Each structure stands twice: as structure tokens, then as C-alpha cells.
């Protein structure tokens, strides 16, 4: 049974000791105890079970996750950007559906969340397929071309701070990282004249509170920002 201690949980990641928020530490512990190593579906199931039966967590969840799965499979992207890694749930969920050659980059500004996500992704056996970068999306988006040699992203998943959605989608456009046909999936993405959109009615993760996801497809190229 997963422990329910209050406070922080210390985890040893290599030679470093990282202090994790209690809930995220228990989520990681649930994965390590209950999920089959190297099996992404088992990791997803362990997190869903933990969130449904022990503690709520703000990952995309099982109901919205099924929508995410369908959009990813429909898009079949070769380059993916995720904004907001959190515990690594959606990174595992997305990458398990895609071939190993897919370029997958996920950004997380919270070092404690990133520490959990790295362990979750490693437990799923996807550590060589998912590139997790710590830092603010506003700082990292303009560096994507120089850091990774990626010209555009076929699929972008917005799952970070909601007040960053509009500036970040504008930044992606300004940096030329969204091309015609690029798909952006997020909650409550604000409108853009260069997008056609589709709304998926759903519920807030692991609750019956009404919520949804919105998918938008780029219908025209953005501009290009200068190299950093």
C-alpha cells in the first residue's frame, strides 16, 4: 500500500537528493510499486488508479487522455512539443503511440515536477525517446531551432499555466514553429484567425466537473523570429 506520510518525500536521483512535494512523491511511489517497468500502459494505469482512489493530481487524466490519444493518432506527428510536463503522465501517454524516431520535447519550469517526471518516464522505458527540458516556455520556445534543429512542430500539447497559453501560441507563431497543418491541443485555447478549431466536451480529470479540450489546426504559416 502506498504510504500517506505528510510533508516531503526525499528521492535519490543518481547522486542528487531532491525534495518532492508529498503528493507528487506518493504518485511516483505508486508508479514504482504498482507499474511494470518498461510498460507505458502499466504506468498510465498506475497513475490513473492512484488519482482515482487515493489523491487527485492535475495530469490530463483518463477521460481526456483518451481524447488526447485519438488526436495524436489522427495527427501522426513526427515532431511533438508539450508545454507542461508535470508528472510525465501525458508525455508517456503520447509517446507510447508514436514510433521511436518521433522527436518529442516536453518543457517544465518546476524542478520538483521535472524530477518526478524523469523517474516516471524512465519507469515507462521512454527515457531515450522523450527529451525533458527545464525552464520557462517563454525562454525556451525561441531556442527550439538552435537547441534541437527543429523547424516546426506537427503537434503541440498545451497543459501548463493557462495565462501562458495566448503568449506562448503567439510566440510559437512568431518563431515560425507552427506550419500549415500543425495541430495544437489544449484546454480553452484562445482564438486565432489562422486556426480552425474543434471542441471536445469532457470532464476535469478524475471528476465529473464539466471541462473540455480544444484542438486547433494551423491554416497558415506564422512569422519567424531571429535566432538566439
Which residues are designated catalytic? 159, 162, 187-188, 205
42: helix, strand or coil:
helix
d(CA 50, CA 55): 6
Cell triple for residue 177? 514553429
Q: Which residues contact 80 (CB under 8 A, 6 or more apart)?
A: 94, 95, 98, 102, 103, 104, 105, 153, 154, 155, 156, 157
Q: What is the DSSP letter of 53?
A: H
- Would you list the DSSP string of 136-179? -HHHHGGGHHHHH-----SEEEE-S-GGGHHHHHHHHHHTT---
Q: Which residues of 2-23 are buried (b: 16+ CB within 10 A; e: fewer)?
A: beeeeeebebeeeeeebebeeb
Instruction: Count CA atoms closer than 13 A to 112's CA, side-chain side.
Output: 12
Amino acid at each position: 500500500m502506498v504510504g500517506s506520510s505528510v510533508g516531503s518525500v526525499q528521492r535519490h536521483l543518481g547522486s542528487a537528493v531532491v525534495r518532492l512535494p508529498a503528493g507528487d512523491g506518493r504518485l511516483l511511489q505508486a508508479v514504482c510499486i504498482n507499474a511494470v517497468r518498461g510498460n507505458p500502459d502499466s504506468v498510465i494505469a498506475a497513475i490513473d488508479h492512484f488519482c482515482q482512489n487515493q489523491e487527485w493530481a492535475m495530469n490530463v487524466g483518463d477521460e481526456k487522455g483518451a481524447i488526447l490519444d485519438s488526436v495524436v493518432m489522427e495527427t501522426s506527428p513526427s515532431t511533438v512539443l508539450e508545454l507542461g510536463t508535470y508528472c510525465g503522465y501525458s508525455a508517456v501517454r503520447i509517446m507510447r503511440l508514436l514510433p521511436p524516431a518521433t522527436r518529442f520535447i516536453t518543457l517544465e519550469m518546476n524542478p520538483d515536477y521535472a524530477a518526478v517526471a524523469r523517474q516516471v518516464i524512465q519507469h515507462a522505458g521512454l527515457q531515450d525517446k522523450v527529451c525533458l527540458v527545464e525552464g520557462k516556455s517563454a525562454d525556451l520556445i525561441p531556442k527550439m531551432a538552435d537547441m534541437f534543429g527543429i523547424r516546426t512542430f506537427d503537434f503541440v500539447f498545451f497543459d501548463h499555466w493557462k495565462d501562458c497559453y495566448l503568449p506562448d501560441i503567439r510566440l510559437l507563431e512568431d518563431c515560425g514553429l507552427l506550419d500549415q497543418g500543425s495541430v495544437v491541443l489544449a484546454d480553452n485555447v484562445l482564438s486565432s484567425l489562422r486556426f480552425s478549431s474543434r471542441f471536445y466536451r469532457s470532464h476535469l480529470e478524475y471528476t465529473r466537473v464539466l471541462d473540455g479540450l480544444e484542438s486547433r489546426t494551423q491554416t497558415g504559416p506564422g512569422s519567424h523570429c531571429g535566432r538566439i
